[in-house]
């Protein structure tokens, strides 16, 4: 698993990347009450805002970590956004994207570097 400075986690499986937010980010947000996901088939560019998350504390955006196409979204989060608080780095993933160029993954942190980044 890799992590971004925006507290997203990325899991690579072949040419697919599953994206969610870290447990740290979920804790910082507090109780998540609303999630707006992109539609499957959407082409996205790195750093484009593609997910909106609202919690009791704040609203924030999730940025596309890579260029690619959204191929699947976790629809269960629309009805149950609180899953993010229960299992941020597991079943509460946001979307899966097909990526043609994986080289930017090298710029992201591994778990050890991420823990240092968040002061853990």
- Give the domain CATH number at 43: 2.40.50.100
Total structural domains in the chain? Answer: 1
Beta bridge partners of 27: none
Residue 8: C-alpha distances to residues 79, 83, 98 (Å): 21, 16, 17
Strand pairing report for 95-98 and 68-73: antiparallel
| Cβ atoms 46, 64 nearer than 8 A | yes
In the predicted structure, residue 120 carries a pLDDT above the cut 80: no
Encoded tokens for 72:
């699947």
Share of the chain above pLDDT 70, in %: 100
In the predicted structure, residue 100 carries a pLDDT above the cut 90: no
**Stated pTM of the model:** 0.94
Which residues form the domain of 18?
A: 2-100
112 located within any domain: no
77 located within any domain: yes
């Amino acid at each position: 698993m890799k992590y971004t400075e925006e507290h997203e986690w990325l899991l690579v499986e072949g040419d697919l990347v599953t994206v969610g937010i870290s447990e740290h980010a979920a804790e910082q947000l507090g109780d998540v009450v609303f999630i707006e996901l992109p539609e499957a088939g959407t082409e996205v560019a790195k750093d484009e805002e593609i997910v909106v998350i609202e919690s009791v504390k704040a609203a924030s955006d999730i940025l596309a970590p890579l260029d690619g196409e959204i191929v699947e979204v976790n629809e269960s989060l629309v009805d149950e956004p609180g899953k993010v608080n229960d299992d941020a780095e597991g079943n509460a993933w946001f979307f899966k994207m097909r990526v043609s160029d994986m080289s930017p993954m090298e710029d992201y942190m591994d778990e050890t570097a991420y823990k240092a980044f968040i002061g853990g």
